[in-house]
Structure 1
C-alpha cells in the first residue's frame, strides 16, 4: 500500500492544498479562507447546490469550499489574529481541504506557520492536527502524522526544485519574500541553508492594504464601505470596481498601496541591516502582485525572481518536504546510527547567525529527525 503525503497551507486569504504528486509534479487547488457557521448542515439550502461542504467542529457546522461566498450574509470576517491556528475556523478549513483531497487516510500532513510564530506554535499545531477529522458528507479522514514548517521555506524548496535559481553558486545569499494576507514573511538563506536570525515576519500584509483602501473609499463616497473582496479582485485584475453601478478606479489609491508596502519593507530592511551581500531575491505568495513594485523600487540592483503560480509556492514546497521526510524516515530504519542534526537556534552557542539546511535535507531544515514528530505516534 502506497504512502500518502499531502500538504495544506491555511492562509488568511486562501486555503491551498495538494491533490496529487507524481514524479515531481504537484497538483494543487484552493478555496477562500472563509468559514460560515450554523447549527445544522445548510450547504444544500435554497439557491441550488453549491461547491461547499459543511464540516462539524465543536458542536457547530462550518461551511467551506470554492462557492463559500454564496453562503455568506452581510457579516463576514477573516481570522487575522495571532491565535488563528487555534480557532474552530482553522480546523474547519483544514477539514475542508482534506475533504477535497478525496483520501481516507494521510500518512503525513505538512502545514505551515509564519516565520515569527514558527518556534512558539509549531509543536501545538502538529499535535492539534493529528488524528481523525470529520470532513462532511459523513466521511472521516485520519491524519497519522503532522509536520509544520515555516511558510516561505516551502516556497524556497519549490523554487529550487523547479530550477528557478539555475546554476547560481551554492554559497549565494538569497532573500525569499512571501507577502500574505496578514503577514509579510521573509527568509534569508546562504546556499541551501536558512539563517534564522535574519528571517522574520511582520503583520503588514494584503489585508492592511485592502482595509486602507476601503477606508479611503468610505471617505470618497461618504458612507461605510467594507467589500474587501471586491477591492482585492479589482487590484488583481487591474480593473475598476463598481459602486452603485458606477466604475470606481482603484488607481487613485496607488499612493496608499505604496505606503503600506514600504512599511513592510522598512521592517525587513531594519532586520537585515543592509542588503549589499544579498545576491538574489525570490518573490512568492498570493500577495506578490501588490508588493512587486515596492520591492523593485527598494532593491533596484538585485535580480528579482518569481515563481509560476505564486499562490501555490508554499504548499508545493510543503509537499516536497513531506515526501523527502518520508524517504528519510524509511532510510533511517536501515541504519542504527542517528545522523547528527544542527543544534536548535535557541540553544546555539555561536554568536554568528546560525544556518540550517533546507534544500539537501528538508528534514534538517525543520529541525527534526524522521521519527520525532511531536505529538504524533503511529
Structure 2
C-alpha cells in the first residue's frame, strides 16, 4: 500500500511545506510565518481583493495565512517568538494553512519539526496536537493519521546525505549540522544519522536578533526609530542597499554588529561540543546561513563548511525523505498490534 507522507516545518520566520511529490521529485514551498486574526472570513468582507492566502477557522476567529499575507496586514506585525509557540493558535493556523495548500485530504504520516532544545519537552504534545482532523475552512478538512516530530537540523542531515550521495557512508561518520533560524540558532551533533543529545542544543540568537540590531543602528543614524525588518533582510540577501528617505542607505556600516551577534551564537555552540577535529561533515543550512557563514568558518578554520542546495528548505525536504523511509514500518507496526489484540 502506498502511504501519503508530507512534511511541514513551521519556523518563526517562514513556514515551509512539501507542495508535491512525484516519484523522487520532492518540491517545496514556503510562506511567512504570520497569521492575521479576523472576526469574519475575509472573502466575505466589503472591498475584498482575492489574494494567495487561506483563512483558517480556530476558536471563533479566522486566521489569514499564506504567500500574500502581507496584503492582509495591518500596521502591527504580531510575532509568537517564545518557548510555547507550538501551543498557540497562530502556530496551528500556519500548520493548517500549509495543509490546505498541499491539497491532500488524507495524510498518513505528517512529519513536523522542533528546535533541538524543545524536542524532549514538546515532542509528545506536538505529535498529539497534529494528529487528527483539521478544519482548513470552506467546509474542507484534512485528516492526519499519524504525526512524527523530529529535531529541525536532523532533517537537514538527511537532506545533505541524499544530495551528496552519502546515505551509505555517513553511518560511519560524525557530523555537525548548524541551522541558524529566525529565532533560534540550532546545532546537532550526529553519529551516523542519530543525533547526540548531550551535545546538540539551541540558543535564542537567530536571524531576527541580527536584523533587529541592524534596525537599531539605522534608527540611530537617521534619528528616528526604524523597524522595516523585511527591507533589511532583502538588502542583506541581494546586496542592494535599502532606500530610506528616498536615498540608498549604506547597510555595510551595520555589518560589524551583525557579525558580532553571529559570533555570540557560534561561541555558545562551541561550549557544548568538543573534539571538533572528529567531524567529517560540518553542514550549514537554514534561511540564516548567509548571515552566519563567516562566524562558523572562523570557528572551524581547518574544516570545509559544507552547504546544500536551497538551504531554506533543507529541513522540510529531509523530513519528507525520513518520513518516506519509515512510513511502512510505522504502519506495519500498527497492523501487527491490531492483529495481536484481535
TM-score range, shorter chain: over 0.9
SS at match of 1:282: strand
Unpaired stretches in structure 2, ≥5 consecutive residues: 338-342
Contact map agreement 1:6 1:106 (CA 8 A) in 2:
yes
1:221-300 alignment runs, 5 A limit: 221-300=222-301
Q: Per-residue deviation at 1:20?
A: 2.0
Query: Which residue is 2:29 aligned to?
Result: 29
Task: Write the distance in 1 (CA, Å) between the matches of 2:127 and 2:48.
Answer: 38
The more displaced of 180-189 and 327-336 is 327-336
Q: Per-residue deviation at 1:138?
A: 2.5
Query: Which residue is 1:145 aligned to?
Result: 146
1:120 matches 2:87: no
Query: Which residue is 1:187 aligned to?
Result: 188
Q: Per-residue deviation at 1:87?
A: 0.5
1:3 matches 2:3: yes
Q: 1:166 to 1:104 in 2, by over 3 A?
A: closer
Q: Per-residue deviation at 1:177?
A: 0.5
Query: Which residue is 1:340 aligned to?
Result: none
Contact map agreement 1:43 1:50 (CA 8 A) in 2:
no
Task: Write the distance in 2 (CA, Å) between the matches of 1:121 and 1:279.
Answer: 30
1:70-89 alignment runs, 5 A limit: 70-89=71-90
Give the length in aligned residue pairs. 337
Q: Per-residue deviation at 1:184?
A: 0.6
Structure ranking higher in helix proportion: 2
Task: Write the distance in 1 (CA, Å) between the matches of 2:18 and 2:136.
Answer: 16
Unpaired stretches in structure 1, ≥5 consecutive residues: 337-378
Q: 1:193-252: CA deviations, max 9, x gaps?
A: 321111111111001001111111111111111111111111111111111221112111
Task: Write the distance in 2 (CA, Å) between the matches of 1:88 and 1:264.
Answer: 29
Query: Which residue is 1:376 aligned to?
Result: none
Task: Write the distance in 2 (CA, Å) between the matches of 1:205 and 1:298.
Answer: 17
Q: Per-residue deviation at 1:328?
A: 1.5
The more displaced of 147-156 and 272-281 is 272-281
Query: Which residue is 1:324 aligned to?
Result: 325
Q: 1:135-184: CA deviations, max 9, x gaps?
A: 12331111111110010001111111222548866432211101100011
RMSD, aligned CA: 2.0
SS at match of 2:128: helix
SS at match of 2:26: strand
The more displaced of 265-274 and 86-95 is 265-274
Task: Write the distance in 1 (CA, Å) between the matches of 2:147 and 2:267.
Answer: 34
Task: Write the distance in 2 (CA, Å) between the matches of 1:184 and 1:246.
Answer: 33
1:64-213 alignment runs, 5 A limit: 64-163=65-164, 165=166, 170-213=171-214
Contact map agreement 1:279 1:303 (CA 8 A) in 2:
no
Task: Write the distance in 1 (CA, Å) between the matches of 2:130 and 2:333.
Answer: 25
Task: Write the distance in 2 (CA, Å) between the matches of 1:125 and 1:67.
Answer: 27
Query: Which residue is 1:312 aligned to?
Result: 313
SS at match of 2:160: helix
The more displaced of 40-49 and 220-229 is 40-49
Task: Write the distance in 1 (CA, Å) between the matches of 2:322 and 2:58.
Answer: 29
